[in-house]
Chain A
Amino acid sequence: MDWLQILSNTGSSILSPATLAYALAALGLAVHFGYAGLLNMGIAGFMAIGAYGYAISILTFGFPWWGGVLVGLVGAVIFALILGIPTLRLRGDYLAIVTIAAAEVLRLLFLTTAFDEVTGSADGLSGYHSSFRDANPIPQGTYGFGPWEYNETQWWVRIMGIITLAFAILLVWSLMRSPWGRVLKGIREDEDAVRALGKNVFSYKLQALIIGGVIAAAGGIVYALPSAISPGVYVTSLTFFVWTALLLGGAATVFGPVIGAVIFWVIQTLLSNVLPAMVQAGVLPFMSSIQAQTLRFVLVGVALMLIVIFRPQGILGNKKELTFVK
């Protein structure tokens, strides 16, 4: 086994666009679930809206990259409104079913051949990078050290991802210590009590759904920045993986989602390198290397169950903050 290569790949995953995208999506989900108590199981839908909004507005309508970003984020606001207005009055588990269904509807609409010219159907979209890459101020070359050695385009994607993430963290952090955030946490703890104080609970929930959705859509855009968009990514498994990252770090925290996403991807990358290597070295004789790749997703499922049962507050969380733990 080439441990050096494995460790290098694993270290590199800390800064990968996928990690940044998961961190953003998990942060959006923290606003939904951790702070507002909304069981959103359609986070993959918000990410798909961001990614497709960005790529379609560039490819079909010839927008510049920042125009594409705006379209992606506005798309998430509209999706949140469509989703929230009928369902936010319902009980939590209804919201879970509706959001997961809405995300699937969205994915099927992106997948169908009926809109092939715009969405690329099963092939997805690619070739929308020129505007974003032209805006890159970094001169050509390779920078960095050790596992974190990237060329100017790779750095540009990562830097923009980190800036977005930092901005989102700042936004969530300042929102949650504002009076608005306290009302939101109050709704999570006891909706009726907050309503009795004269607050419009529905409006607060809708605002939280929009803010979290926009952050998740930004995650979707970051996910789409380095290469291409494939509809096979935005399946329910993506939602469940983001949930795992969130609960791992801590649902009602600002930095928990980020730490959760980093740990999720570091372990995923490590396992995806180590398990096939172990198969090749004959340590795991009873499986093929394809099976070894499947094994790591089995472990995600097991990890999700164990976290929720034994440490539902996650690494950073405070158990008192979690009303979903009865």
Chain B
Amino acid sequence: MAPAADRPTRHRVRIVTGVLATAIAAMALFAASPAYADEVDTDTYPYRVSGNVQLDGNPLEDVELTVDGNGITTVVETDAEGQWAVGVPERNVSYSVTLNEDTLPEGIAVVDETSETPNVREAAVGAGGRVTVNFFIGEGERNVTSFFDQFVQRLVNGLNFGLMLGLAAIGLSLVFGTTGISNFAHAEMVTFGAVMTLMFSTLFGFEIWLAIPLAVVMGAAAGWGLDAGLWRPLRKKGVGIVQLMIVSIGLSLTARYVFQFFIGGGTIQLPGADAPKIPLFGVVSLSVIDMASMGLSIVVILVFAWWLLFTRLGKATRAVSDNPSLAAASGIDVDRVVRVVWVVAATLASLSGVLWAYFRPGIKWDMGAQILLLVFAAVTLGGLGTAFGALIGSIIVGMLVEVSSLWIPADLKYVGALGVLIIVLLFRPQGILGRRERIG
């Protein structure tokens, strides 16, 4: 972040509270700590990260801290005793704890000569499941990463997130375009990809580079199976669009709880999820996983675009999406095209699920449902039923979510994207690339 040389020498570091990472010591501390610390999610999750923010032994109230990682982003404020605690779902993993220096009194900052970013600490939750994180607080210059640097870092993260959303959104949009279904179960295809990767890598012990392609193949098979076993019979039966939408909701509920049945309610990490970040240029640093994820998304999207634009089947898909009756009259086998669309959508969604599992990071039974509305927002923004619109919409939504957390609290970052969804419907309901007649 900000170069250490620019920072003026810190003087009079008056209080130094240590970091205790051993479980036993943490437990002992807890036994002594009063029960009225501001606690968030401590009833929800079994393990906890906590601490005490003090200056010269005087507690600091209303200091904001964010605990991030393994699928949670929790914001907590210290109470009158300067204490805080956050419940976390996992142990034997690390969480990053960020102290928001803007909420400290004037002229006070987190000071630590040994760290580039003293207001961010890694909290390793050990086997005991509890860890205490304290910051070195004293008078000094705040560690400020320039606004522009933060902006660039978020933008790059947002691009990564957006490409991942795009993989899911393209499928949702194609399915809507060709069949008219707002498929709420698409989120569960996303989770399915991640769960299959988990099955192949952890349960069967395959290497991750083998597990991911196998999971995506399973995703394609699931897409084929769902069309053959559910959607095609319903099409033949002539079931209405609204009914199909509600069926997809039922399917979504079923699949979601089936995942919970097998993997439980916790978060499980894939191998390699804790890869270190490598500084690239300026302040931007990405892990190998992040770079592979972005590269993979771009390659897959390019292949998909080529398929949609230049192959016979791709052209047929666009024709069906445009006007199914006309396409059928021109000799296109609409049923076959729809089958292919379901398979493509499921394949892209499962790949997106694998990437989402690394981005969050962690696999959870409702991980797909967490991004479903962002995907819907992206698809609506781009234009329902258009594949490339969905991609553009996803990148905008992904960047917006990441960048907006510069101004709004981290736990509200999805609100901005959902707000965009509502604003788009107000002023341009057909989206960026959509056509007016679709909106009815």
Contact = CB atoms under 8 A, between A and B. Distances in A.
B409 interface: yes
Contacts of A237: 253
B371 to A, nearest CB: 11
Contact of A309 (B247, B411, B419): B247
Given A301-B253, A309-B234, A97 B380 contact: yes
B77 A116 contact: yes
B242 A92 contact: yes
B439 A90 contact: yes
B167 interface: no
A86 B426 CA distance: 6
B425 A98 contact: yes
A248 to B, nearest CB: 12
A76 to B, nearest CB: 18
Interface string B49-77: 00000000000000010000000001111
Interface string A264-288: 0000000000000000000000010
Contacts of A304: 246-247, 249-250, 253
Contact of B40 (A86, A91, A113, A324): A113
A227 interface: no
A136 interface: no
B73 to A, nearest CB: 11
Interface in B299-358: none
Nearest to B40: A122
Nearest to A39: B242
A109 interface: yes
A294 interface: yes
B77 A113 contact: yes
Nearest to A326: B240
Nearest to B86: A122
A295 B409 contact: no
A300 B440 CA distance: 32
A90 B418 contact: no
The interface centre, meaning the residue of A86, A105, A297 with most chain B CB atoms within 10 A of its CB, is: A105
Majority DSSP secondary structure for residues of A touching B: helix
A30 B384 CA distance: 28
Contacts of B254: 298, 301-302, 305
A163 interface: no
B415 interface: yes
Contacts of A31: none
Nearest to A191: B440
Q: What is the predominant secondary structure among interface residues of chain B facing chain A?
A: helix
Contacts of A96: 182, 245
Interface stretch (B205-213, B257-265, B272-280): B257-265
B262 to A, nearest CB: 8
Given A87-B425, A94-B425, A114-B412, A298 B258 contact: yes
Contact of A93 (B239, B245, B369): B245
Interface residues of B, number: 57
A100 interface: yes
Interface in A63-117: 86-87, 90-94, 96-98, 100-102, 104-105, 108-109, 111-114, 116
A97 B421 contact: yes
B246 A243 contact: yes
Contacts of B240: 324-326
Contacts of A245: none
A86 B439 CA distance: 13
Nearest to A82: B422
A142 interface: no
A92 B439 CA distance: 9
Given A101-B377, A105-B419, A308-B246, A86 B425 contact: yes
Contacts of B439: 90-91, 94
Contacts of B253: 237, 240, 297-298, 300-301, 304
B40 A123 contact: yes
A111 to B, nearest CB: 7
A247 B250 CA distance: 12
Contacts of B429: 90, 94
A121 B40 contact: yes
Contacts of B241: 93, 326
A287 B261 CA distance: 9
Contacts of B33: none
B414 interface: yes
Interface in A308-326: 308-309, 312, 324-326
Contacts of A154: none
Contacts of A123: 39-40, 43
B403 interface: no
Interface in B214-261: 234, 237-243, 245-247, 249-258, 260-261
B246 A247 contact: yes
Question: Which of B40, B74, B253, B260 gathers most chain A CB within 10 Å?
Answer: B253
A236 interface: yes
Nearest to B416: A105
Contact of B238 (A97, A108, A121, A326): A326
Contacts of B234: 309
A309 B241 CA distance: 12
B95 interface: no
Interface string A11-51: 00000000000000000000000000001000000000000
B176 to A, nearest CB: 8
B418 A101 contact: yes
Given A93-B182, A308-B243, A104 B258 contact: no
B114 interface: no
B247 A113 contact: no
A232 B43 CA distance: 12
B75 A113 contact: yes
A291 interface: yes
B264 A290 contact: yes
A290 B250 CA distance: 21
A302 B250 contact: yes
A301 B182 contact: no
B146 interface: no
B93 interface: no
Given A101-B422, A240-B249, 8 more contacts: A97-B373, A113-B40, A113-B77, A123-B43, A297-B257, A300-B257, A304-B246, A304-B253
19 contacts: A87-B422, A92-B242, A94-B380, A94-B384, A96-B245, A97-B182, A101-B376, A101-B422, A113-B64, A113-B75, A114-B409, A116-B77, A122-B40, A122-B41, A122-B44, A290-B264, A294-B260, A294-B261, A298-B253
Q: 8 tightest CB-CB pairs across the interface, nearest first?
A: A91-B440, A301-B254, A301-B253, A304-B250, A326-B240, A305-B250, A324-B242, A297-B257
